[in-house]
Amino acid sequence: MEKIATRDGFGKGLLELGKKNPNVVSIEADLGKSTKSILFAKQFPDRNFNVGISEADMMLVSCGLAASGKLPFASTFAIFTERAFEQIRNAVCRMNLNVKIIGSHAGLITGEDGSSAQCIEDIAVFRTLPHMVVISPADAVQAEKAVEAMAGHHGPVYMRLTREKVPVLYNDNHKFIIGRGDVLREGKDVTIIAHGPQVYESLEAADELAKEGINARIINMSTIKPLDENLVLRAAQETGAIVTAEDHSIIGGLGGAVAECLVSSYPTPLERVGLHDTFGESGKPMDLYKKYGLTSGDIAQAARKAIKRKK
């Protein structure tokens, strides 16, 4: 199976968008080589500004550009977007400006750099902000297509990316629609809802469950906010048990969002796969996934547990 990092998909998408739309501006904070915004920077040096290692400055610079009619993409590591959380809250979102924020190197999958870089709470914090849209693509194709979708949405968007290569699940015909989840596999016994690298892990889990006669529905929820509530509620009604899976804290991420949705409208047994109120550590991505319970096996186990809880 071909593997490409979502950051590579973003880099390609930004470059393509830049060719079509002269208003696109890239703002970097010394991590263009890592986030892949460098592809845009090389092609359009006059529309690229590197503000150095200054994330707070970066967010307000983006606001000034957006207020002038530009379409700024501010990209850095996910963890450093959080450094500018209050700037994002008080400027980007309070003014509802057309600023696109890219947080790369998110999750335990970042690996060897360890806990300082492994951002595991970005979705939770950005999800709370009025006007903010939160996206986490499952593969490089989605990341590339999401860039165009972000440009078509007026207002702040946060897109979470990963450093490590992940299996390519979509082909070039894929259309990324903000706010819409995607059923990748039908099933009637349980629904596994995932984003990012855990979408592939969930598909693997479904294969494992199928051997036991369990039909798991798999949903790629690449927009966490606004959540595709209709799809979640339909899954709850039709399968009666839900699992969420993500390389993120179980507090406030997709698991939190789905829990909020279910408890308000259709209480259903829910198991959340993710980080259990803990930081990560250095290590190889798959070793970390095993140690912290984020593999296909952990997701399958959570599905069995959720099914048992059905009344």
Partner 1 sequence: MDNNNLILGLQDKAKSFRRDIIEMLYKSQSGHPGGSLSAVDILTALYFHKMHVDPKKPDLPGRDRFVMSKGHATPGLYTVLAGKGFFPREELWHFRQINSLLQGHADINIPGVEASTGSLGMGLSFGNGLAMAKKIDKLHHKIIVLMGDGEQQEGQVWEAAMTASHHKLDIIAIIDKNGIQNDWFVNETKIVDPLPDKWRAFGWHVEEGDGHDMHSIVSTLDKLWGMQGPRIAIFHTVKGKGVSFMENNPEFHGRAPNQEEYRKAMEELK
Q: Which of 272, 278, 257, 265 is nearest to 305 (CA)?
A: 272
Q: Quick one: 22 or 267, whose CB is closer to partner 1? A: 22
Q: In the range 95-124, which residues lie near partner 1 by CB under 8 A?
A: 95
Q: Which of 57, 113, 204, 281 binds partner 1 (CB under 8 A)?
A: 57
User: Which helix (H) or strand (E) element contains residue 88?
Assistant: none
Residue 101 C-beta-side C-alpha neighbours within 13 Å: 36
Residues 2, 16, 28, 55: which is the catalytic one? 55
Residue 45 in contact with partner 1, rule: CB under 8 A: no
Total residues binding partner 1 (CB under 8 A): 29
| From 3-11, 59-67, 200-208, 258-266, span contacting partner 1 (CB under 8 A) | 59-67
| 169 vs 85: CA distance, rounded Å | 32
Q: Which of 1, 2, 46, 213 binds partner 1 (CB under 8 A)?
A: 46
Q: In the range 140-199, which residues lie near partner 1 by CB under 8 A?
A: none
Residue 68 in contact with partner 1, rule: CB under 8 A: yes
Residue 61 in contact with partner 1, rule: CB under 8 A: yes
Question: 57-92 burial string, b = 16+ CB within 10 Å, else e?
Answer: ebbbbbbebbeeebbbbbbbbbbbbbbbbebbbebb
Q: Quick one: 23 or 115, whose CB is closer to partner 1? A: 23
Q: Which of 17, 91, 199, 275 binds partner 1 (CB under 8 A)?
A: 91
Residue 26 in contact with partner 1, rule: CB under 8 A: no
Q: Which of 34, 43, 90, 282 binds partner 1 (CB under 8 A)?
A: 90
Does residue 55 carry a catalytic annotation?
yes
Residue 215 in contact with partner 1, rule: CB under 8 A: no
Q: Where are the beta strands (DSSP E) in the chain?
A: 3-5, 24-28, 48-50, 71-77, 100-104, 133-135, 157-160, 165-167, 182-185, 190-194, 216-220, 223-225, 242-249, 270-275
| From 66-74, 222-230, 236-244, 280-288, span contacting partner 1 (CB under 8 A) | 66-74
Asked if 274 and 241 count as a contact pair (C-beta separation under 8 A), the reply is no
| 14 vs 81: CA distance, rounded Å | 18
| From 55-63, 233-241, 266-274, 278-286, span contacting partner 1 (CB under 8 A) | 55-63
Residue 270 in contact with partner 1, rule: CB under 8 A: no
Residue 66 in contact with partner 1, rule: CB under 8 A: yes
Phi/psi at 164 (5° precision): -75, 150
**DSSP for 121-174?**
SHHHHHHTSTT-EEE--SSHHHHHHHHHHHHHS-S-EEEE--SSEEE----TT-
Residue 51 in contact with partner 1, rule: CB under 8 A: yes
Minimum CB distance to partner 1, residue 64 (Å): 2
Tell how many helices (H) and how many strands (E) occur in the chain: 13, 14
Catalytic residues: 55
Binding region for partner 1 (CB under 8 A): 25, 46-47, 49, 51-52, 54, 56-70, 72, 86-87, 90-91, 94-95
